[in-house]
Structure 1
Amino acid sequence: MLPPLRRRLIAGLPAAALAAALPASARAQAWPTRPVRLVIPFPAGGATDIIGRTLATRLGATLGQQVVVENRPGAGGSIGADAVAKAPADGYTLLMGTGSTHSVGPAINPKMPYDAFRDFAPVAHVANAPSVLVVGAGFPARTVQELVALLRRSPGRYNFGSSGIGTYPHLSAEMFKWRAGGLFVVHIPYRGTGLVITDLVSGQIAFLMDSVVSAQPHIRDGKVRALAVSGERRSPSLPDVPTFAEAGIAGMDISNWFGAFVPAGTPADILSRLNRDLNAAVRAPEVLERLERAGAEPAGGSPEQFARLIRADHENWKAVIRRAGIKPE
């Protein structure tokens, strides 16, 4: 119980100062008192959206407040990420970030509207997802080697799509072009994966490097054909699809990560509670089942572990961009 003098002083404080005056343990117990917003910086239906919505329901039940999902797509995820970077650091605004927003994008675009390392506090690494190389069901190439041969015969004739400049799908495709011996294929950026799939199916673009999570439904319904998956082993959700190494393309052991962030300056006690509750959400049986069915690999860990992963991934992509000669568009 607070001493009488401290109680009188606190009673006269405005709401914002009142929250700061409370002991950390009391503030963490009081938070949240209203719904929490989870910003998804990509359109509905993509991998980030699927993973974010899967976690939001469980997290809301744990917090005792609704977690409202808000899609803020555009500019390769930077519009939504920037909105969170500039939001109040009070624990009521979270970002479902990815390698696109925090490692790949900043590695290729030095003019991002936010600083990926200074403007955010990493909360928890929640999932990973390998990439899959897909073509339209009617496209003439049925294997990776057939696709490479076709692209080599007609340099500059074919296009590939992505969910935006500097996103994981963009850089994964650039890495494939490089690892395949230097293919000349034109990049067409879109506002989201759904639009890319439409043009892939109609034959407007030749291929897409997408997350297994967002590509899997289209593979299953026969709209697109999977040629290879990234990573060291086959995806459990696509067991018949070879890895790039099995298909003859080495060096494609890449995987996109997904994780929660809050604005820098968010109180440490709120950050700690969010980390604890997100780790619990990722381990919940219904969340595990949904993530694994979607093709994602559940993760977890401390904010410090997540921060190290982001930095290492960022440095890795900087090296790839430099070696492959990839330029900002």
Structure 2
Amino acid sequence: MKAKVAIAGWLGLLGVGLGMGNAACAAGPYPDKPVRIVVPYPAGGSTDILTRLLAKGLTARWGQSVVVDNRGGASGIIGTEVVARAEPDGYTLLMNGSGPHTVNVSLFEKLPYNPVKDFVPIVRGMTIPLLMVAPANAPYSDVKSFIAWAKANGGTANYCSIGPGSPSHLAGELFKSMAGLPQLTHVPYKGSGPAIVDTIAGTCNVMFDAALSSGPQVKNDKLKLLAIGTEQRDPSWPSTPTVSESGLPGFSAYTWSALFAPAGTPAAIVKKIQQDAVAVLQSATVKAALADQGAQAGGGTSEELAKFVDAEIAKWGKVVKDGHVTVN
């Protein structure tokens, strides 16, 4: 069942805890015991790294342990459900990614959680740009020349992804639609590594891939960087235009992680977590550590995150539907 979301729904959830806030404060200042942040991915990935940086900073600010609990599996569904069913007291949080929180609702017929009704948004954690890359010797060097080449080579032109339903796949489908390239063939791979190898070799004509994995190959001149998927230019690639400013205005595709709490968490607690998390995320140490991972530190308010998530669900839902995207 496809979810229909509304900003009002998010804001209503934020207000659920207003009546509970005073009671929570009366019981003692939050937090007065360890806090758990669930990551619905295995340890070692970019979201895990972000969460451990945030946990370390919050532990220092709060004087209470903030621990990371990795619950990977089932496209992020397992860990996400854990938090959806947790006690809404601020002691179990979720650092979720774009897939489990805004794409799965369109990819899977049934989910054991509702990304709007079961969670309160707290703060955006980070953004990881998707780089539009091509073989180093490709006969095109930017978005416009690739589109022209693809139209002239419609029978063979392709784009590769790191797997069905991945951000890499959805970005390619969005590009294909906006560029008017119905003949552009999708070639899925099992992970970024093999897809990059075949892009370097020229088997793949173009692909969208996270800066963390494809960026080093660009710097080593093994891949050609055509454009950046974020709305604004990336500070790490200041001379490279975005896809949007390269002839496809409005295009945006990137991965992100954000912090959520179970629905019903007191508003006063949500506000405290949001303020302290922003302070940690915007610290020089964390910003530098995330930059090393090809990521940009997040921030913002709960309300801003709610609007962003609503927009992401609607956008990728349309891409999944129009592109007949499946995870099979």
Q: Please say whether Structure 1 and Structure 2 have the same fold, judged by a TM-score greater than 0.5.
A: yes
Task: Work out whether 1:259 is the aligned partner of 2:258.
Answer: yes
* Structure 2 equivalent of residue 212 of structure 1: 211
- The DSSP-based 3-state class of the residue aligned with 1:29 is coil
* Structure 2 equivalent of residue 31 of structure 1: 31
Q: Tell me how far apart the structure 2 counterparts of residues 31 and 176 of structure 1 sit (CA, whole Å).
A: 45
* Structure 1 equivalent of residue 235 of structure 2: 236
Task: Work out whether 1:326 is the aligned partner of 2:315.
Answer: no
* Structure 2 equivalent of residue 161 of structure 1: 161
1:50-69 mapped onto 2 (5 Å cutoff): 50-69=49-68
Q: Tell me how far apart the structure 1 counterparts of residues 83 and 55 of structure 2 sit (CA, whole Å).
A: 16
Stretch deviating more after TM superposition (140-149 or 74-83): 140-149
* Structure 2 equivalent of residue 7 of structure 1: none
Task: Work out whether 1:186 is the aligned partner of 2:183.
Answer: no
Q: Tell me how far apart the structure 1 counterparts of residues 45 and 194 of structure 2 sit (CA, whole Å).
A: 11
Encode CA deviations 1:4-39: one digit per residue, 9 max, x unaligned.
xxxxxxxxxxxxxxxx9x941154526352352341
Q: Contact 2:230/2:242 (CA < 8 Å) preserved in 1?
A: yes
1:96-245 mapped onto 2 (5 Å cutoff): 96-137=95-136, 142-145=141-144, 147-148=146-147, 151-152=150-151, 153=153, 155=155, 158=158, 160-162=160-162, 164-165=164-165, 167-182=166-181, 183-188=183-188, 190=190, 193=192, 196-197=195-196, 200-201=199-200, 205-245=204-244
Q: Contact 2:144/2:247 (CA < 8 Å) preserved in 1?
A: yes
* Structure 2 equivalent of residue 5 of structure 1: none
Q: Tell me how far apart the structure 2 counterparts of residues 286 and 185 of structure 1 sit (CA, whole Å).
A: 42
Q: CA 1:26 to 1:139, structure 2 compared with 1: closer, same or farther past 3 Å?
A: farther
The alpha carbon displacement at 1:212 in A equals 3.3
Encode CA deviations 1:245-273: one digit per residue, 9 max, x unaligned.
45444442445443101222334443333
Kindly provide the amino acid, as one letter, of the partner of residue 36 in structure 1.
R
Aligned length: 304
Kindly provide the amino acid, as one letter, of the partner of residue 185 in structure 1.
T
Q: Tell me how far apart the structure 2 counterparts of residues 66 and 157 of structure 1 sit (CA, whole Å).
A: 52
- The DSSP-based 3-state class of the residue aligned with 1:125 is strand
Q: CA 1:116 to 1:142, structure 2 compared with 1: closer, same or farther past 3 Å?
A: same
* Structure 1 equivalent of residue 289 of structure 2: 290
> Identity percentage over the alignment?
32
Q: Tell me how far apart the structure 2 counterparts of residues 169 and 309 of structure 1 sit (CA, whole Å).
A: 19
Q: Tell me how far apart the structure 2 counterparts of residues 199 and 73 of structure 1 sit (CA, whole Å).
A: 28
Gaps of 5+ in 2: 1-19
Q: CA 1:187 to 1:295, structure 2 compared with 1: closer, same or farther past 3 Å?
A: same
The alpha carbon displacement at 1:93 in A equals 3.0
- The DSSP-based 3-state class of the residue aligned with 1:103 is helix
Stretch deviating more after TM superposition (152-161 or 278-287): 152-161
Stretch deviating more after TM superposition (196-205 or 84-93): 196-205
Q: Tell me how far apart the structure 2 counterparts of residues 40 and 193 of structure 1 sit (CA, whole Å).
A: 19
Q: TM-score, normalised by structure 2?
A: 0.75
Kindly provide the amino acid, as one letter, of the partner of residue 327 in structure 1.
H
Q: Contact 2:122/2:305 (CA < 8 Å) preserved in 1?
A: yes
- The DSSP-based 3-state class of the residue aligned with 2:269 is helix
The alpha carbon displacement at 1:286 in A equals 1.5
- The DSSP-based 3-state class of the residue aligned with 1:174 is helix
Q: CA 1:176 to 1:92, structure 2 compared with 1: closer, same or farther past 3 Å?
A: same
1:305-320 mapped onto 2 (5 Å cutoff): 305-320=304-319
Q: Tell me how far apart the structure 2 counterparts of residues 168 and 159 of structure 1 sit (CA, whole Å).
A: 13
Q: CA 1:75 to 1:149, structure 2 compared with 1: closer, same or farther past 3 Å?
A: farther
Q: Tell me how far apart the structure 2 counterparts of residues 307 and 222 of structure 1 sit (CA, whole Å).
A: 39
Q: TM-score, normalised by structure 1?
A: 0.75
What is the CA RMSD across the aligned residues, in angstroms? Answer: 3.5
Q: Tell me how far apart the structure 2 counterparts of residues 51 and 76 of structure 1 sit (CA, whole Å).
A: 19
Q: Tell me how far apart the structure 1 counterparts of residues 62 and 95 of structure 2 sit (CA, whole Å).
A: 17
* Structure 2 equivalent of residue 77 of structure 1: 76
- The DSSP-based 3-state class of the residue aligned with 2:300 is coil
Stretch deviating more after TM superposition (116-125 or 282-291): 282-291
Q: Contact 1:162/1:170 (CA < 8 Å) preserved in 2?
A: yes
The alpha carbon displacement at 1:206 in A equals 4.4
Kindly provide the amino acid, as one letter, of the partner of residue 39 in structure 2.
V
Q: Contact 1:236/1:295 (CA < 8 Å) preserved in 2?
A: no
Q: CA 1:170 to 1:139, structure 2 compared with 1: closer, same or farther past 3 Å?
A: same
Gaps of 5+ in 1: 1-19
- The DSSP-based 3-state class of the residue aligned with 1:308 is helix
- The DSSP-based 3-state class of the residue aligned with 2:277 is helix
